Structure 1
Amino acid sequence: MPYTLSHAVVALPVSVIARGRIPLAAMVVGSMSPDFPYLLALSPTEAPGHSESGVLIYCLLPSLLMLLVWYRWIEGPTLELFRLPRREWSFGKSSYFLVVLGVLIGAYSHVLWDATSHFDGLFVVNSEFWNREILSLPMYKLNQYGGGILGLAALFVWYVFAVIKNRQEQYQGKLIIGVLVYSISIVFFVLLANIVHGSTVIIEFAVRSAIGGIVGGICGMCMYAFMVHLQADKKYYNE
């Protein structure tokens, strides 16, 4: 897909089928994990996680480390800011297995989707179907861009319904601070990605801006959570 975040849409139907037993966060992080090198480089680069063995070697451990940070420090402030419900987890042996399973489901769904939506994808190379043209575009391109757009749209619709469902809960987020922190972080990384790599054409600017936007969102999420915890600790010690 042209936008890494779109891959997270796979987590929604799987979560419904599994009746919420597989952690949504694990599938979301796993679904983006093959593109981690892009996020680190702020530009498309070699990503060895786009293969069956690459998922196990390059995606699983970084995803689990990110989830550790998420559950320990970031989840609460982030869900409160975006008015999303927080599900209580009792972490036992079965829970750890489900987290690993969620990461693998997300990561392998990414690999499978890319195999049908990129010119060098496994199914595109070995099948005439994905190379058939519709409206002067090969099927894999339609899958790539159409999937990206529909994926983002589905995530937005899910978010709206989740907020509506949770609207009766008292809002505990710090909206103004959150908007400010996220905005500054996203703008900074979008500019950084394009300046560092010297984007000169529209497609380069669009791709690197998308990557910079994701990185900026992640960093903004971390900074906001840090500020919330810092304020809570300060209040605790003052009491």
Structure 2
Amino acid sequence: MPFTLSHAVLAPPLAKLSGQRLPIAALAIGTMLPDLHRLFTLRHDPTPHLWSALLYPNLLLGLVFCALWYLLYRPALYRFVGVHHPLNLNTIKSVLGFVCGLILALLIGNATHLIWDGLTHHDFRSFAFQDFLAQSVQLGTGIYPMHRILQIGSSILALPFLLCMSLHYYRKHRQLSSVSTKIRVYAIALILLSIVFGGFSLWDYARYIPDATWQAELYYFTGRAINEFSQGALLMLSLGCLLFLILDFQGRIE
């Protein structure tokens, strides 16, 4: 679905059900895993949406994204917004337990994505309610397939809940001291650059597609456009976070 991020709305409840034993970030990454390969290729590959791909390639890709999150994005982003939530990995036992939790969280998160898609898509992913999903519904002057309405509708409805849970996490773990002006300026500049770079990536992709073609396949190209924007924005964000961590380690940005 175009709104891949919406799948992550299931991560906080799953973490709570596990007694916070499963890392919430790994659960969130797991819930998005079948779609994340699209950040690296234009080729339409259904393999990651199969249950047989749960261990390979999805788990391997999930571990890569977990490494990026915990080693790059998390340290930088938490400094940007003033969040303090240490992992407390002080012993070999705690590290091994954390890694096992990561793997289990990725597998569970991946499974929720496949189930969600199986109930909202009318294709090889479907495993129930095929006749219902194949129905057409009239909305206004247009007629739309039920499965498409469920895909977009469930994605949009999930976003406010995701925002609320993110704000709750921030309020719970924000540090007492304020973020320095230098860090704020760096963070704002990086966000703006990421948006600009993502926008350029989107423009460079969209300019080759005729308007009539875009309108004829609106759902596909909307999803593709989001992926193109994400590719450019994430590339700039990654480089910016890496540079920040280097400067922060050297004590040059306080």
Q: Kindly indicate whether the alpha-carbon contact (under 8 Å) linking 2:201 and 2:228 is maintained by their aligned counterparts in 1.
A: yes
- 1:199 equivalent to 2:215? Answer no
Query: For the structure 1 residues 11 and 104, does the alpha-carbon distance in structure 2 shift closer, same or farther, using more than 3 Å as the test?
Result: same
Q: Which deviations, in whole Å up to 9, do the C-alpha atoms of 1:191-219 show, x marking residues without a partner? A: 32442462332536533332133334433
Q: Quote the Cα distance in structure 2 between the aligned partners of 1:110 and 1:206.
A: 20
Query: For the structure 1 residues 123 and 223, does the alpha-carbon distance in structure 2 shift closer, same or farther, using more than 3 Å as the test?
Result: same
Q: Quote the Cα distance in structure 2 between the aligned partners of 1:32 and 1:176.
A: 31
Q: Determine the structure 2 residue equivalent to 1:120.
A: 123
- 1:142 equivalent to 2:158? Answer no
1:24-103 pair list within 5 angstroms? 24-41=24-41, 43=42, 45-90=44-89, 91-103=94-106
Q: Determine the structure 1 residue equivalent to 2:158.
A: 151
Q: Quote the Cα distance in structure 1 between the aligned partners of 2:34 and 2:111.
A: 9
Deviates most, 61-70 or 15-24: 61-70
Per-residue deviation, 1:106: 1.4
Q: Kindly indicate whether the alpha-carbon contact (under 8 Å) linking 2:134 and 2:146 is maintained by their aligned counterparts in 1.
A: yes
Q: Determine the structure 1 residue equivalent to 2:196.
A: 187
Per-residue deviation, 1:184: 1.8
Q: Which deviations, in whole Å up to 9, do the C-alpha atoms of 1:106-141 show, x marking residues without a partner? A: 112111111122221433676323334554544422
Q: Kindly indicate whether the alpha-carbon contact (under 8 Å) linking 1:133 and 1:139 is maintained by their aligned counterparts in 2.
A: yes
Q: Which residue, 151, 168, 172 being the options, matches 1:165? A: 172
Query: For the structure 1 residues 84 and 190, does the alpha-carbon distance in structure 2 shift closer, same or farther, using more than 3 Å as the test?
Result: same
- 1:13 equivalent to 2:29? Answer no
Q: Quote the Cα distance in structure 1 between the aligned partners of 2:174 and 2:84.
A: 10
Q: Which deviations, in whole Å up to 9, do the C-alpha atoms of 1:48-90 show, x marking residues without a partner? A: 2101111211111121122123222331111222344424242
Q: Kindly indicate whether the alpha-carbon contact (under 8 Å) linking 2:33 and 2:110 is maintained by their aligned counterparts in 1.
A: yes
Query: For the structure 1 residues 190 and 87, does the alpha-carbon distance in structure 2 shift closer, same or farther, using more than 3 Å as the test?
Result: same
Per-residue deviation, 1:170: 2.1
Q: Kindly indicate whether the alpha-carbon contact (under 8 Å) linking 1:117 and 1:124 is maintained by their aligned counterparts in 2.
A: no
Query: For the structure 1 residues 137 and 87, does the alpha-carbon distance in structure 2 shift closer, same or farther, using more than 3 Å as the test?
Result: farther
Runs of 4+ more than 6 Å apart: none
Q: Quote the Cα distance in structure 2 between the aligned partners of 1:44 and 1:169.
A: 47
Identity among equivalent pairs (%): 23
Say what the alpha-carbon RMSD is for the aligned residues.
2.6
Q: Quote the Cα distance in structure 2 between the aligned partners of 1:194 and 1:207.
A: 14
- 1:212 equivalent to 2:228? Answer yes
Q: Kindly indicate whether the alpha-carbon contact (under 8 Å) linking 1:186 and 1:212 is maintained by their aligned counterparts in 2.
A: no
Q: Which amino acid aligns with 1:159?
A: S
Q: Quote the Cα distance in structure 1 between the aligned partners of 2:234 and 2:151.
A: 24
TM-score by length of structure 2 reads: 0.79
Q: Quote the Cα distance in structure 2 between the aligned partners of 1:196 and 1:132.
A: 33
Query: For the structure 1 residues 74 and 95, does the alpha-carbon distance in structure 2 shift closer, same or farther, using more than 3 Å as the test?
Result: same
Q: Determine the structure 2 residue equivalent to 1:228.
A: 244
Query: For the structure 1 residues 206 and 122, does the alpha-carbon distance in structure 2 shift closer, same or farther, using more than 3 Å as the test?
Result: closer
Q: Which runs of 5+ in 2 are unaligned?
A: none
Q: Which runs of 5+ in 1 are unaligned?
A: none
